[in-house]
Amino acid sequence: MPALTYREAIRDAMSEAMRRDDDVFVMGEDIAEMGGSMGVTQGMLDEFGPDRVRNTPISEMAIVGAGIGAAVSGMRPIVEVMYQDFMTLAMEQLVQQAAKHRFMSGGQIKVPLTIRTQGGAGWSPGAQHAQQLEAWFLHVPGIKVVFASTPADARGLLWSSIYDDNPVVFFEHRTLYNLKGDVPAEIDGIELGRARVHREGEDVTIVATGRLVHEALKAAEEAEQDGISVEVVDPRTLLPLDEETIVASVRKTSRCVVAHEAVVRMGFGAEVAAIVQHQAFDYLDAPVERVGAKFAPIPFAPVMEEYVIPHAEDVLAAVRRTMGKD
């Protein structure tokens, strides 16, 4: 199995799709010569040319709108929105148009649009370039939401997103781009709506997303020294959500911690907690614990940023609380 970085895995999925299918193309701000703000599309212009690696004006509404138009016309566009914070500027197009066309046309119109966007804290980009806003999109019927945490998952999930006939928002975390891992020699799509168990355990289930998957795995190693066996589940796709795997894990361990970088209030973790309480209530030996960012804008100062966002020690503290060892 070859080893690729998270960045390379995403580029590989897009490039291979474009080699096989002339209907696939990429568009976004500075993605051609510059290769995108995070270098994900570097080199693609040389291979595919400016008609299929298209720089766009600085208008997220226009970029997403053009992507919708291309998608309903039979193409499979991959739109890059430079920062997920800027998705706010395209909400009308995404929520009112892309998410509704298939339903309102009785299935006659397909919208195979993939929107790649990156974000997250950890490098002091400030309050307008570091948010995790996945919960916004989970509230909208008609959109699928993906959040990969490893190179192999990023490649396989992006491949499946490109070939889904519904709009998909594909979240990437900027601090994972240099993460390296083995990927299959041949690209194979990963089914959307299928979770991954990164680590088996018996005492506590941690359901984690994005960067917090790796923080949860660190916390699990620390917990093991205390004699606590932790299972780590990565949903990978937040919508559709693999409730079955999550609930089965909690029924086995009887305890649950949900961890994400987004703020705790009204976050993805609240939905997971509700699902667990409803479907595994009789199995729970403690309340569901939630771990996330404090309810504040992300500060610019590194020490304050570190204070606001969650880390492995926060996940470990939640594990100990649910075990009655705080």
Write out the catalytic residue numbers: 60, 129
Pick from 314, 289, 303: which is nearest to 222 by CA? 314
**HSE-up (13 A, CA, CB side) for residue 279:** 18
Report d(CA 59, CA 50) in Å as an integer. Answer: 19
The structure tokens listed for 121 are 């804290």
Helix, strand or coil for residue 174?
Answer: helix
Count of CB atoms situated within 10 Å of the CB of 63: 26
Report d(CA 111, CA 100) in Å as an integer. Answer: 9
Report d(CA 246, CA 161) in Å as an integer. Answer: 22
Q: Who contacts 32 (Cβ-Cβ below 8 Å, separation ≥6)? A: 41, 44, 45, 50, 53, 54, 55
DSSP result, 7-76: HHHHHHHHHHHHHH-TTEEEEETT-SSS--TTSTTTTHHHHH-TTTEEE--S-HHHHHHHHHHHHHTT-E
Q: Who contacts 125 (Cβ-Cβ below 8 Å, separation ≥6)? A: 298, 300
Per the listing, tokens 């959040």 go with: 147
Helix, strand or coil for residue 297?
Answer: coil
Alpha-carbon Rg of the chain, whole angstroms?
20
Report d(CA 181, CA 5) in Å as an integer. Answer: 6
Per the listing, tokens 């205390």 go with: 226
